[in-house]
Structure 1
Amino acid sequence: MKGKTRSWWGWGNVEDAVAGTEGEELTRRTARMLPNADLTVHEAPALEVFGVGASRIKAPDALSALVSADVRDRLAHSHGQAFRDVVRALLGRLPHVPDLVVRPTSESEVVHVLDWCHEANIAVIPFGGGSSVVGGVEPRVGDQYTGAVSLDLTSMDQVLEVDATSRAALVQAGVLGPHLEEQLRPRGYTLRFFPQSFEFSSLGGWLATRAGGHFATHLTHIDDLTESLRVVTPSGIVESRRLPGSGAGPSPDRMFLGSEGSLGVITRAWVRLQDRPRWRAGASVAFAQYDAGVRAVRALSQSGLNPANCRLLDPMEALINAGSATAVLVLGFESADHPVDAWMDRALELCRDHGGTLDEPARYTESTGRAARTAAADAWRSSFVRMPYQRDALAARGMIVETFETACTWDRFDAVRAAVDDAARDAMRQVGAEGVVTCRFTHVYPDGPAPYFGIYAAGRWGRTVEQWDEIKHAVSGALIAAGATITHHHAVGRDHRPWYDQQCPDLFAAALRAGKKVLDPAGILNPGAVLDPLPTA
């Protein structure tokens, strides 16, 4: 990302935004799918449109070098990267802006910031890469605080120690994905954790949101890669012991994983590393019937083969992102220890048992560089990286382009898919947005998949946020009613709270609130995300 400029309103880098022939082709493809869509392009407004006021608070002199009151900086830290965030920025509607952005460079400075905010009743919103899609970094905290600061940890970005014997590393929480891998690569290691947000998200963000990586099976959640955590809270520091496993009571790590900065600020972690892969295999399998593809993936998930990639796209998703007219399974294996030919061969045998066909043979490579790829896998990987940029471009053209991700057991999948499809289509009719619903699997487990539903609809410019909110509300209710989770890997934030509160057992929620009262007695840490703000004295 060196030499590039982060967008203050949308995804990624300004220089990488959709433009030229890519934008023209995107518009043509969308017009073919939704011929009645008004695809007029709308540009981001000038910063002055937002009317950002002066900061209500002033940092202590000892912290002044860490503080930014710049309007562009504050606006960039006022929202995440969900569809509704991007559109609100394009419309000039960002009402919740932090008073200051604070960038500590050490844990002691984090302690100092929390001490100041605790005493001054200032809300603190921990901020990594800012890629939240659930309102997790938005300072929407109510009026009971004297102000709000965005605590940007990206200056704390170093690998502090590598234990080669145990194959683990001590890493500061603010490091973004590419810089983490840059530091591990010379030693031959990788964290092997690549969410779609990899380039613009941080280790601390992954930990705080219990993020899921790109890999479909085995060590795919950040939980699986966490050896221990160190967390700063307003009441003191919590550090868990480095262990490969322990049965000594409830896990302190599990308490903070997924807490979204509401219980403390993760400053560093010991994480489990992997040797960099040497052997890879890739294949693209077509299924004339989507249900046959689902059965094949279930067989794969229960086979113990543990593919690195097992991404099933329904026909509409495959058409939009891979140019295929049938359901497509993007399948891959990799290993640092041994060739994976036998694993791929057996996986393809399972796929053929369920009617799967290959347009081209599987590819097997041995290298330390580029992963094995097929033409379809290449197309998918390219579209996977470009999706957020294209989402922004379509949002600027009045389209509603957003996703729901969930997880359910295999026996419930058909009912969950039908419930989501019905709820989304009905909601689109209600709000007057003609569109399509797609589905793909991002992760699979022996007992169930993680379906990822996409909405592509023609909205009405100026009303697309409200239209999306209606669709979101309908589908979220359908997910909970069908027994699925409100989120598999996108966290709770503020946007998922109504449905998370239905999913979370009441007594557990009460215990969580009690824990927050101990760790954060003034209730300053990310109020409203996961937990409501604590009542003021």
Structure 2
Amino acid sequence: MPATPSRPGTARTRSWWGWGHADAHPDDAECIAMGALLPGTLARPLPIPQVTDLPITRPAATPPPALAHLVTDDPEVRAAHAMGKAYRDVIRALRGRPGRIPDLVARPTAGQEIADLLDWAGEHGVAVIPFGGGSSVVGGVEYRGDTHRAVLSLDLTSMDRVLEIDAASRSARIQAGALGPVLEDQLRPHGLTLRHFPQSFEFSTLGGWLATRAGGHYATGHTHIDDFVQSLHVVTPAGAGTSWRLPASGAGPSPDRLFLGSEGALGVITEAWMRLQERPRHKASTSVTFTDFHQALDAVRAIAQSDLAPANCRLLDPGEALLSGASHDGSSVLILGFESATTRVDGRLTDALDLTRAHGGHAGTPTTNRDAPADTAVTAWRSAFLRMPYLRDGLARMGAVIETFETAATWDKIPALIDAVRTQVGAAALKATGHPATVNCRLTHVYPDGAAPYFTVAVAGRPGDELEIWDDIKAAANDVLHRHHATITHHHATGRDHRPAYDRQRPEPFALALRATKDALDPRRILNPGVLID
């Protein structure tokens, strides 16, 4: 197990090969029990991989003495920075094929140190991969290729402070390396919160959220981190710059938009002024069951097109509801919640439930007091939401092919899109493995004009062929998304895994502008090579 702390001030360690905390993974007995639910999996789990079994070579580059104190070549640290946390990464680790392990890992503490590292890397042909918290599920934090002399993983988690709070404007200047809990711990004494809670909250950073345009807590309204940005400070190989801190501006294309979603390919986000809010004091939530999934879609659309703006509006199809324990009778389940720092939200929940009843929904007992017993379906979903990545890794040890992908499309396409994914991705999985697959769906975020479906695929694989099988399944999924003009990603970013589909989605004039921007800001092509453009 790696010796790298999961966050400052704790004794728990991060798993170098899988999701989250090393001590939270299912044990062998639990893996075997899960495998029994998916016919065709292994009789015994694959062993947990050890860093000592990896082919870690000596670094191919050495930093100058002035930068040496920022850099480590420790094998365990290097292994922990070699990949993200997608299913493909977990399988590669389990099979002892992690790919190119970075030669060095740098942990700068200031923007000038980052600039100095970029200067050195550019002069010596060293690729620089901004790492964030390393929770990428799209191949966004690894090096693929052989055109660079060495690889440096740039870990900003030592830059994790809230530097300044403007109470009047309700905003804060925050270093990009702050992990979610570290950030919120510093805001809490001020009664403020960013309230951006992706599933990776514990293990991802503010800079990572910004660079990948992460989706967060809110299922409606402010769904992406973009909505909270006032200003960015970015260090590029061509120089550093800070956008003006403004509530809004019509002065040309937004400079912040250039770097939001750029995935470290154009520059390194080091600080950001972020819009905050008071911590919520009023909450109300419940679950709603539906016997017909398409009626449930209509109910969610009605809520999204109202002015009720629920904080949580996540629809689980029958398979997803069963998997999370929210329902066991074949029903679809809508998890519905409201919150506010200033006003009671009971009435908004009541109005939303009226809309669900008009579409065949059956509501549970609302919870409007934090001390009251929570709706059992809501509690089950929340627990499963946090536990699911660990269970995925346990099933991967049993030889299962189990992964997720997400998208977004307009409402007119949503029903047919979901049906097509279930049918065609299921058929592709059966063809690739000979085993029937489970293809579940949930809506994670909803908008007046569309929604973001999130799919889970699970099927027994063949020992040693798991990656090839997943690649075939993912190719089938990408084809369905492309035919329905659904985006390749709603909030997981593009990385390297989604590049082919991203290239088909973006307009060619924009691709020309992006290439020119890369040439201007990173002329030596050292920053995250292969992400967004070649």
TM-score range, shorter chain: over 0.9
Q: Tell me whether 1:328 sits opposite 2:336 in the alignment.
A: no
Q: Tell me whether 1:202 sits opposite 2:194 in the alignment.
A: no
Structure 1 position 126, deviation (Å) = 0.3
Contact 2:102 2:153 in 1 (8 A): yes
Structure 1 position 510, deviation (Å) = 0.6
**Residue equivalent to 2:232:** 229
Q: Structure 1 counterpart of 2:192, which letter?
A: Y
Structure 1 position 43, deviation (Å) = 1.4
Contact 1:206 1:222 in 2 (8 A): yes
CA distance in 2 between partners of 1:495 and 1:233 (Å): 24
Structure 1 position 372, deviation (Å) = 7.9
**Residue equivalent to 1:521:** 523
Q: Structure 1 counterpart of 2:526, which letter?
A: I
Query: SS state of the match for residue 228, structure 1?
Result: strand
**Residue equivalent to 1:493:** 495
**Residue equivalent to 1:437:** 439
**Residue equivalent to 2:95:** 91
Query: SS state of the match for residue 333, structure 2?
Result: strand
**Residue equivalent to 2:508:** 506
Q: Tell me whether 1:353 sits opposite 2:365 in the alignment.
A: no
**Residue equivalent to 2:3:** none
User: What is the total number of aligned residue pairs between the two structures?
Assistant: 523
Contact 2:109 2:159 in 1 (8 A): yes
Structure 1 position 275, deviation (Å) = 0.5
- Structure 1, residues 16-43: CA drift from partner, whole Å, max 9, x if none? 22237xx53x6445534x3343352111
One of 8, 11, 15 as aligned partner of 1:3:
11
CA distance in 1 between partners of 2:153 and 2:441 (Å): 35
One of 471, 483, 486 as aligned partner of 2:485:
483
CA distance in 1 between partners of 2:420 and 2:349 (Å): 34
Q: Structure 1 counterpart of 2:176, which letter?
A: A
Contact 2:61 2:150 in 1 (8 A): yes
One of 124, 127, 134 as aligned partner of 1:123:
127
RMSD value, Cα: 1.4
**Residue equivalent to 1:395:** 396
CA distance in 1 between partners of 2:351 and 2:292 (Å): 21
Structure 1 position 323, deviation (Å) = 4.5
**Residue equivalent to 1:535:** none
Alignment of 1:31-430 (within 5 A): 31-32=36-37, 34-140=38-144, 142-324=145-327, 325=329, 326-358=331-363, 360-365=364-369, 373-430=374-431
Of residues 460-469 and 248-257 in structure 1, the stretch that sits farther from structure 2 once superposed is: 460-469
Query: SS state of the match for residue 131, structure 1?
Result: coil
Query: SS state of the match for residue 434, structure 1?
Result: coil
Q: TM-score, normalised by structure 1?
A: 0.95
Structure 1 position 480, deviation (Å) = 1.1
Q: Tell me whether 1:453 sits opposite 2:455 in the alignment.
A: yes
Distance 1:272 1:323, change over 3 A: closer
Contact 1:476 1:486 in 2 (8 A): yes
Query: SS state of the match for residue 363, structure 1?
Result: coil
Structure 1 position 53, deviation (Å) = 0.8
**Residue equivalent to 1:18:** 26
Structure 1 position 419, deviation (Å) = 2.3
**Residue equivalent to 2:4:** none
CA distance in 2 between partners of 1:39 and 1:173 (Å): 44
Query: SS state of the match for residue 455, structure 2?
Result: strand
Query: SS state of the match for residue 255, structure 1?
Result: helix
CA distance in 2 between partners of 1:461 and 1:528 (Å): 30
- Structure 1, residues 44-89: CA drift from partner, whole Å, max 9, x if none? 2332332111100001101111111111111111100000100100
CA distance in 1 between partners of 2:43 and 2:68 (Å): 46
Query: SS state of the match for residue 36, structure 2?
Result: helix
- Structure 1, residues 100-120: CA drift from partner, whole Å, max 9, x if none? 001101111101101111111
- Percent identity reads 55
Contact 1:282 1:372 in 2 (8 A): no
Distance 1:240 1:372, change over 3 A: farther
Structure 1 position 121, deviation (Å) = 1.6
CA distance in 2 between partners of 1:36 and 1:250 (Å): 53
CA distance in 2 between partners of 1:402 and 1:143 (Å): 28
Query: SS state of the match for residue 333, structure 1?
Result: strand
**Residue equivalent to 2:470:** 468
Q: Structure 1 counterpart of 2:516, which letter?
A: A
CA distance in 2 between partners of 1:64 and 1:446 (Å): 52
Unaligned ranges ≥5, structure 2: 1-6
- Structure 1, residues 119-145: CA drift from partner, whole Å, max 9, x if none? 1121100011000000000111x2221
CA distance in 2 between partners of 1:29 and 1:64 (Å): 46
Contact 2:326 2:381 in 1 (8 A): no
Structure 1 position 418, deviation (Å) = 2.4
- Structure 1, residues 441-486: CA drift from partner, whole Å, max 9, x if none? 0000000010001101111222111111110111112101211000
Unaligned ranges ≥5, structure 1: 533-537
Q: Structure 2 counterpart of 1:71, which letter?
A: P
Query: SS state of the match for residue 528, structure 2?
Result: coil
- Structure 1, residues 265-309: CA drift from partner, whole Å, max 9, x if none? 000000000100000001010001111110000000001111000
CA distance in 1 between partners of 2:302 and 2:373 (Å): 23
Q: Structure 2 counterpart of 1:397, which letter?
A: M
Structure 1 position 420, deviation (Å) = 1.4
Query: SS state of the match for residue 489, structure 1?
Result: coil
Q: Structure 1 counterpart of 2:65, which letter?
A: D
Distance 1:289 1:39, change over 3 A: farther
CA distance in 2 between partners of 1:312 and 1:267 (Å): 36
